[in-house]
């Protein structure tokens, strides 16, 4: 119960196109890198101060005690370790410590500016509270401006005192140092603000691209689900034609049996046996279809077209019009028409070899139709991906318990791309698997080595679904 309530109250990330979008928090690896950077800057600043004093460098005024200088450097630079997690606080602390450190006369400028640059940059790049970031930014810049003005006033006062005593050396040194400081601050402040803002914009653009990629993947998955559903609808229509064919034969044979029942009992019995066989086949094919359409992993057509009703319905109608444009006489198609299909492919410039292996035997109409459709789809696959120059072999094998059709090509000397489940360009292979599954068969589709592609479908002569076996009590 608590888990559910926590999940329901958890904040959701606003889309990147929304004004409320915030950048993701820093990772543990990024925090470790920031800690290393802060430690390196602090050590470099201490070393710079020691070397400056050892080299005999001088500063205006009395330098602070070593421990005071080290403390000021630590307060200014060590908060950089949290620059991505708490950019507002780090910028405020670093700005205040920068002013205090400079006022105390700590002989270090370069590393302090680098640390303050990182703080200002992180404020623009990583702040998740844009209003607070603007307040801190302008407050720090205002404080820096006031500090510089106070410094100029102090310098002017020193120059006035120096002129009374006849000395301008101190004033000149103060002026040069102040101008140098202004130039450095303008450069660092401007660069930090510019780079920080553009880093935040780049992160937002990356988030938008990631969201668009996720939406595209969801749309591709939805189209793939629709393709499977529509393929099953087409199978259902073709099964309807096959069952209608059986029922028509049953009617003809029943009429013949009734007409010859008294005059020719043997003929009547033979007609009734044909009726029985046709009825058995019709029931078997119906159970096969129900077993396929009731699979647990079958997508729900209502889910496949949910969401934006008008747009999804338009997609559904367009895909359906393309998928269901089949011959109304599809029940007459079967393995007997595969040679005509191959002749048609040859007329389009394809090189196709056809071979029948094993002793031919009668196939169920639905099995024969599905084998024909698998060959048709495989030849379309070859023509689309391998080109008309590819050499294709089509073999129909009659085995002991199953019939097998194999379509292979040489890829016209090009390496075949690996076929991935759910790839938007491989819906035909998913349709082949659906057709074979209706009769309890399987389809193997994979690239050949080194070139080409192979499709092998195997369908048993007799197949009973689990539902059918439970119905018949077998």
Residue at 29 is within a domain: yes
Residue at 191 is within a domain: no
Question: In this structure, are 461 and 346 located in the same domain?
Answer: yes
Question: In this structure, are 316 and 216 located in the same domain?
Answer: yes
At which of 133, 167, 201 does a domain end?
167
**What is the predicted pLDDT for the residue at 422?**
38
- pLDDT of residue 371 exceeding 60, the answer is yes
Residue at 204 is within a domain: no
- pLDDT of residue 59 exceeding 70, the answer is no
Question: In this structure, are 347 and 321 located in the same domain?
Answer: no
Structure tokens at 394: 């089509």
At which of 305, 330, 355 does a domain end?
330
Cα 7 to Cα 1: distance, rounded to the nearest angstrom = 10
Residue at 173 is within a domain: no
Residue at 94 is within a domain: yes
Q: What are the backbone dihedrals phi and psi of residue 405, each rounded to the nearest 5 degrees, phi first?
A: -125, 135
Question: In this structure, are 140 and 16 located in the same domain?
Answer: yes
Q: Which range, 1-10, 33-42, 192-201, 441-450, has the best average confidence (pLDDT)? A: 33-42
Question: In this structure, are 404 and 289 located in the same domain?
Answer: no
Q: DSSP letter string over 45-83? A: HHHHHHHHHHTT---SSPPPPHHHHHHHHHHHHGGGGGT
Question: In this structure, are 326 and 343 located in the same domain?
Answer: no
Q: Which domain holds residue 395?
A: 333-474
Torsion sign across C-alpha atoms 339, 345, 347, 350: negative
Mean local confidence (pLDDT), 286-312: 50
Instruction: Mean pLDDT check: name the lowest of 242-246, 248-252, 470-474.
Output: 470-474
Question: In this structure, are 350 and 461 located in the same domain?
Answer: yes
At which of 330, 346, 362 does a domain end?
330
Question: In this structure, are 159 and 52 located in the same domain?
Answer: yes
Q: What is the percentage of the chain residues whose pLDDT exceeds 70?
A: 68
Question: In this structure, are 26 and 147 located in the same domain?
Answer: yes
Mean local confidence (pLDDT), 454-471: 70
Residue at 432 is within a domain: yes
Instruction: Mean pLDDT check: name the lowest of 54-68, 208-222, 407-421.
Output: 407-421
- Residue whose structure tokens are 């005593």: 165
Cα 88 to Cα 68: distance, rounded to the nearest angstrom = 25
Per-residue pLDDT band at 413 (split at 50, 70, 90): low
- pLDDT of residue 440 exceeding 70, the answer is yes
Per-residue pLDDT band at 466 (split at 50, 70, 90): very low
Tell me the pTM: 0.48
Residue at 206 is within a domain: no
Phi-psi category of residue 395: left, alpha or beta, with phi > 0 → left and psi -120 to 50 → alpha? beta
- pLDDT of residue 39 exceeding 90, the answer is yes
Question: In this structure, are 159 and 300 located in the same domain?
Answer: no
Per-residue pLDDT band at 10 (split at 50, 70, 90): very low
Cα 421 to Cα 379: distance, rounded to the nearest angstrom = 20
**What is the predicted pLDDT for the residue at 442?**
92
Q: Which range, 87-91, 134-138, 176-180, 291-295, has the best average confidence (pLDDT)? A: 87-91
Of 233 and 360, more confident: 360
Nearest to 120 by CA among 103, 100, 136, 101: 136
Question: In this structure, are 311 and 358 located in the same domain?
Answer: no
Residues 6+ apart with CB under 8 A from 394: 338, 342, 352, 353, 354, 355, 375, 378, 379, 405, 406, 407
Give the chain's largest Cα–Cα span: 149
Question: In this structure, are 34 and 132 located in the same domain?
Answer: yes
454: burial class by Cβ within 10 Å (0-12, 13-18, 19+)?
A: middle
Are the C-beta atoms of residues 319 and 228 closer than 8 Å to each other?
A: no
Question: Structurally, how many domains does the chain consist of?
Answer: 3
- pLDDT of residue 406 exceeding 90, the answer is yes
Instruction: Mean pLDDT check: name the lowest of 124-138, 160-174, 358-372, 420-434.
Output: 160-174
Residue at 412 is within a domain: yes
CATH code of 337's domain: 3.30.565.10
Helix and strand totals (H; E) in the chain:
14, 5
Torsion sign across C-alpha atoms 283, 288, 289, 294: positive
- Residue whose structure tokens are 């700005």: 95
**What is the predicted pLDDT for the residue at 248?**
62
- pLDDT of residue 153 exceeding 80, the answer is no
């Amino acid at each position: 119960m608590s888990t559910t309530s926590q999940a329901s109250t958890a904040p959701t990330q606003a889309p990147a196109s929304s004004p409320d979008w915030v950048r993701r928090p820093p990772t543990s690896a990024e925090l470790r890198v920031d800690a290393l950077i802060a430690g390196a800057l602090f050590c470099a600043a201490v070393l710079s101060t020691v070397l400056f004093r050892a080299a005999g460098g001088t500063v205006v005024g009395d330098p602070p005690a070593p421990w005071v200088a080290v403390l000021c450097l630590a307060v200014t630079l060590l908060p950089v370790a949290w620059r991505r997690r708490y950019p507002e606080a780090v910028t405020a602390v670093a700005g205040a410590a920068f002013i205090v450190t400079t006022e105390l006369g700590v002989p270090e400028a370069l590393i302090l500016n680098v640390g303050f640059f990182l703080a200002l940059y992180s404020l623009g790049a990583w702040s998740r509270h844009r209003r607070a970031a603007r307040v801190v930014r302008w407050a720090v810049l205002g404080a820096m401006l006031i500090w510089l003005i106070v410094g100029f006033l102090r310098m002017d006062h020193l120059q006035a005192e120096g002129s009374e005593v006849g000395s301008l050396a101190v004033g000149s040194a103060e002026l040069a140092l102040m101008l140098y400081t202004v130039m450095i601050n303008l450069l660092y402040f401007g660069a930090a603000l510019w780079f920080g803002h553009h880093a935040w914009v780049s992160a937002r653009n990356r988030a938008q691209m990631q969201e668009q990629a996720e939406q595209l993947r969801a749309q591709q998955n939805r189209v793939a689900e629709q393709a499977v559903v529509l393929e099953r609808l087409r199978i259902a229509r073709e099964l309807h034609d096959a069952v209608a064919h059986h029922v028509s034969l049953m009617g003809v044979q029943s009429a013949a049996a009734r007409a010859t029942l008294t005059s020719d009992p043997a003929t009547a019995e033979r007609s009734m046996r044909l009726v029985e066989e046709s009825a058995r086949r019709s029931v078997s094919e119906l159970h096969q279809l129900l077993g396929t359409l009731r699979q647990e992993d079958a997508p729900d057509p209502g889910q496949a077209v949910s969401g934006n009703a008008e747009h999804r319905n338009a997609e559904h109608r367009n895909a359906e019009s393309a998928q269901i444009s089949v011959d109304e006489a599809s029940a007459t198609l079967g393995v007997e028409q595969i040679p005509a299909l191959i002749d048609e492919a040859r007329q389009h410039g394809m090189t196709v070899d056809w071979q029948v292996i094993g002793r031919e035997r009668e196939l169920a109409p639905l099995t024969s139709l599905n084998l024909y459709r698998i060959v048709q789809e495989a030849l379309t696959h070859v023509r689309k991906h391998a080109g008309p120059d590819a050499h294709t072999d089509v073999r129909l094998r009659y085995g002991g318990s199953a019939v097998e059709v194999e379509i292979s090509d040489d890829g016209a000397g090009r390496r075949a791309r690996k076929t991935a489940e759910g790839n938007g360009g491989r819906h035909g292979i998913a349709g082949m698997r659906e057709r074979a599954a209706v009769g309890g068969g399987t389809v193997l589709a994979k690239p050949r080595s080194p070139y080409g592609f192979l499709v092998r479908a195997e369908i048993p002569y007799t197949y009973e679904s689990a539902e059918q076996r439970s119905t018949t009590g077998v």
